[in-house]
Amino acid sequence: MSQQPDKKPETEEDLERKKKKEEKAREKELKKLKALEKAELAKLKAQQGSNAPKKSAKKNVKREADEENPQDFVDPDTPLGEKKRLSSQMAKQYSPAAVEKSWYAWWEKSGFFQADAGSSKPPFVIVLPPPNVTGALHIGHALTSAIQDTMIRWRRMSGYNALWVPGVDHAGIATQVVVEKKLMRERCLTRHDVGREEFVNEVWKWKTEYGGTILRQQRRMGASLDWSRECFTMDEKRSKAVTEAFCRLYEEGLIYRDLRLVNWDCGLRTAISDIEVDYTDIKERTLLKVPGYEKPVEFGVLTSFAYPLEGELGEIVVATTRVETMLGDTAIAIHPHDKRYSHLHGKFAVHPFNGRKLPIICDAILVDPSFGTGAVKITPAHDPNDFEVGKRHNIEFINIFTDDGKINSNGGPEFAGMPRFKAREAVIEALQKKKLYRGAQNNEMRLGLCSRSNDVVEPMIKAQWYVNCSSMAKQALDAAMDDQNRKLEFIPKQYTAEWKRWLENIRDWCISRQLWWGHRIPAWYVTLEDDEMKELGAYNDHWMVARNEEQALAEVKKKFPGKKFEMLQDPDVLDTWFSSGLFPLSVLGWPDDTDDLKAFYPTSVLETGHDILFFWVARMVMLGITLGGDIPFRKVYLHPMIRDAHGRKMSKSLGNVIDPLEVINGVSLEGLHKRLEEGNLDPNELATAKAGQVKDFPNGIAECGADALRFALVSYTAQSDKINLDIQRVVGYRQWCNKLWNAVRFAMSKLPDDYTPPPTINLGTMPFSCGWILSVLNKAISKTVMSLNAYEFSDAATSVYSWWQYQFCDVFIEAIKPYFAGDNPAFSSERSSARDALWVCLESGLRLLHPFMPHVTEELWQRLPGVKSHTRKESIMICEFPSPMESWTNERVEYEMDLVESTVRSFRSLRAELLAKQKNERLPAFAFCQSEEVAEIIRSCELEILTLATLSSLKVLLSGVDEAPAGCAFENVNEHLKVYLKVHGALNAEAEREKIKSKMDEILKQQEKLMKIMNASVYQEKVPTHIQEENATKLAKLLQEFEFFKKESERMEFEAEQRK
């Protein structure tokens, strides 16, 4: 059955309109698109004299809608690892869960993530900061993943041999704590009950069962890691590297053993690093819960007591916040110039509980005579400042605590065996009995708590292994600070100063940990049969450092020939940061001279949080230079720390911790509450946390998908050292994905299934809007590449977003709709060019967006007709990243489109101001041009302006030839162009006159300001000629503008008089 030529296209457009109505209910953003499309169809029908019956069209739409098979819009199931099977029809709405399904497994199985050590391509290498094996993905990991995957996908597409190495850290303390709790919960046993060997076996079992969680979650984020190189810091190769590193550093004299103060956790019974100590500020007397104590413990109190002086010289009063440590006091310090105590120089105080003589020593470094009594008790074995005093004055170091925090025999029989904070009460009571207690007062203090156990950290003197960092730190500092030969760059640059501060004040690094889970220290202690002291470590020269027990045994026989001995490996393990510090080397196979090491070391960039600049980054650089012969990476990008939307640190007790998977998959408020309930918050904290969730997430968190979360996180990186993460911004990007989906869906409806992309683009024959969109695409590509090269990820994301949103979707798609509305032969050439421009924009734009949003771009790219024959690539992720095309740049076209967009905005402003409910009504309009050049641009772009501004007609008027139209609302575009809109009914003349008066007042202000500058006495002599010329031109324009508005005002006055 034959049809009129214009009947079928109208049916298609009506169907399109019907679809848009369905989408409108779900997506508010598409309201404008639908309205503009309807108006354009009305205009074109009028132009073409269409007489197709509307009822027939509506019936056809209904019939076609009824005939739709819902299954056509649903993706078939895809077997794991196979290429995703797509639905025959593109879904009408974007669904993150549907789109992000199956692609990752196919990418991984296809080997797209793998780097080739034998490749001739330039290498680009990142190592993933190894997350703890105990961990689950948190928002900080998600930020790291989003930034690093953006980098690695971009570099891979840009022709690099891109390697991103995944790994997991064994997390000594964290893992041991988890398994100890599990043992206690399930079997009511401690690790000491089961013994070291069985406990370590339990940890390995736990690691095998639960340790891969976080890497599976990285896959959900779309992270294109080279899983063929996945490693674990305690696997065989990494363990070999750790042993080799320890031995080499020891052989070079950089590792030694010494007796020093360490941060000691009495519950875990181990030394901990500075980064594992959380400090809490206490303003006054405060009761805190401490693990292992039923009653809260008092802190924030300064206790004063007296020491009797030898020889009946009276007493000397001292004060302390840790009164129990007085059991280990070995001196009292005063300032040498404090006249109050000048008679006590060289004298002694007497310890009230054990009779120990405490020398009165003079120390100007420690003692402030104006603070307190000016006398300071000295406990060298339990206070960092006192430790230094002890070394300066060679006084006795007495440890009074057992490893589990009880008073030992050095504390005296009256207190031995007491837990330290119960001993605190007992000591005060004993001082009171001896009438030596002098009272207590509130005292502001900082209390160190172990981040793992929440126990109060105790300074303890312990024999430990240390790394001498001074020479290594100088090399690491020079790498970043040497202007002539700078090898290491920090981004942002502000962290270079922090690097300098840390490394210039570095202390030697304690690497011993009294744990069972970790790399056992490769040192054996030899106890000779004729040694007087048999304790482990009693003689420092009896330690043998070796790569294995056999080597250690050989060294012992060589050093102590003919002696009988016993040999025992150091029970301690190495600080987790030691193996982490070797990561860039060990993941590439060091100490073996592997192909990976030769091809990929040094790596290209380290991306991590600025909070571990010293604890991890500095140590990697020091060890990399010393053991690898070069810095481990050339650049260090330090991302901000994530806070909640209110700028607060994320905390379980506040209920503001954001789980990335809950953002990706969505979660109800009840689900958020359930996560809190499964934690270990006390009832009060739980109530506070739930209230916080109700306030921030009253409806839970909407399903956003990984792509939207990634894009939001990358966009946030413009913020300095903190990101205030608002989930609504992520939701906004998920909605933008829907807009992108629908815009691409609409655009692809204009591309036939058998469409073949052109080998080249002929810009000369393309319509104005097509030349423009390719020119601005070119700029977006250039800006994105420039920003990515500069590690300005937020700027790169903004460039891509702006092109897609404001240029492709908002302008281009709308501007070309007339070419496709009906099969008008007059638009045949434009239609063909528009199809080619559409395809090029879609294909290039998706590649441009891919590093930021990998899943949705892969899905849309795979649906593009003709893409396989054009690129001959299986996946968008192995296509080339777009590069600027010089021939596409057209500044003239961009200038003209800027004028068109300004004109359209002015018309839209008028419409919004005047039309209210009839906002879709088309009205006649006028463009009043001040020059022939502007008039020519407006005439040539009439169709675009009519379409984008929803006008029924546009008449171009020229100043000096035509009069401004009467009875119209007007808007000023710029000094060259004014626009008028014909309004049905009476115009609000008063409002229009007020608008003109406001414009004139504004021009007068600008005039006065400029005239003041130009009339200054030194203006002619001091101001450069070109500036004077620019100002003269500005003034002339302002005078011209003022004259125009003056005439407009007079005209409107005249029209008002005429109407009277």
Other C-beta atoms within 10 Å of 646: how many?
12
What's at 816, amino acid-wise? I
d(CA 124, CA 193): 49
What 3-state class would DSSP assign to 361? strand
Which residues, in sequence order, are bridge partners of residue 333?
361, 376
Beta strand spans in 225-285 (E): 231-232, 255-265, 270-272, 277-282
* H/E segment holding residue 938: helix 932-940
Q: Which pLDDT score, from 0 to 100, does residue 433 have?
A: 96
CA angle 835, 836, 837 (to 5 degrees): 90
| 335-357 burial code (b ≥16 CB/10 A, e <16) | beebeebeebeebbbebbbeebe
What's at 240, amino acid-wise? K
Q: Are 941 and 933 in contact (CB under 8 A)?
A: no
Q: Which pLDDT score, from 0 to 100, does residue 8 have?
A: 36
d(CA 152, CA 711): 15
Q: Which pLDDT score, from 0 to 100, does residue 38 have?
A: 43
CA angle 496, 497, 501 (to 5 degrees): 120
Q: Give the tokens for residue 173.
A: 């303390």
Nearest to 752, CA basis, from 835, 823, 638, 853: 835
In angstroms, the Cα distances linking 400 to 403, 447, 512, 559 are 10, 20, 21, 36
d(CA 839, CA 209): 48
Which residues, in sequence order, are bridge partners of residue 525?
543, 568
d(CA 584, CA 601): 8
Backbone angles phi, psi at 446, to 5 degrees: -110, 130
d(CA 52, CA 4): 8
Nearest to 175, CA basis, from 139, 134, 214: 134
pTM across the whole model: 0.84
d(CA 94, CA 1056): 54
H helices present in 188-281, as ranges: 191-194, 196-210, 213-220, 236-251
DSSP-derived secondary structure for 778-840: HHHHHHHHHHHHTT-HHHHHHHHHHIIIIIIIIIIHHHTHHHHSS--GGGHHHHHHHHHHHHH
Nearest to 977, CA basis, from 1013, 1034, 922, 931: 931
Backbone angles phi, psi at 744, to 5 degrees: -65, -40
Q: Which pLDDT score, from 0 to 100, does residue 1058 have?
A: 62
d(CA 401, CA 409): 9
Other C-beta atoms within 10 Å of 1004: how many?
12
Tally the C-alpha atoms within 13 A of residue 990's C-alpha that lie toward its C-beta. Answer: 0
Radius of gyration of the CA atoms of the chain, in A: 38
- What's the N-to-C CA distance of the chain in angstroms? 62
d(CA 748, CA 742): 10
| Pairing assessment for the beta strands 968-974 and 977-982 based on DSSP bridges | antiparallel
Q: Which residues contact 798 (CB under 8 A, 6 or more apart)?
A: 715
Q: Give the tokens for residue 817.
A: 């709709």
In angstroms, the Cα distances linking 640 to 180, 714, 801 are 34, 11, 22
Q: Which pLDDT score, from 0 to 100, does residue 1055 have?
A: 66
d(CA 133, CA 167): 9
Q: Are 811 and 945 in contact (CB under 8 A)?
A: no
Q: Running DSSP on this structure, what letter comes out for residue 626?
A: I
Token look-up 């879904």 returns: 91
Q: Are 33 and 13 in contact (CB under 8 A)?
A: no
d(CA 198, CA 83): 45
Contacts 24+ apart (CB under 8 A), 500-505: 502/613, 502/614, 502/618, 503/473, 503/474, 503/476, 503/477, 503/618, 504/473, 504/477
* H/E segment holding residue 318: strand 315-320
Burial zone of 97 (CB within 10 Å; 0-12 exposed, 13-18 middle, 19+ buried): exposed
Nearest to 374, CA basis, from 349, 322, 329, 338: 338
Q: Are 773 and 814 in contact (CB under 8 A)?
A: no
Other C-beta atoms within 10 Å of 852: how many?
26
Q: Are 322 and 458 in contact (CB under 8 A)?
A: no
Regions of the chain short of the pLDDT cut 50: 1-13, 15, 18-19, 22-63
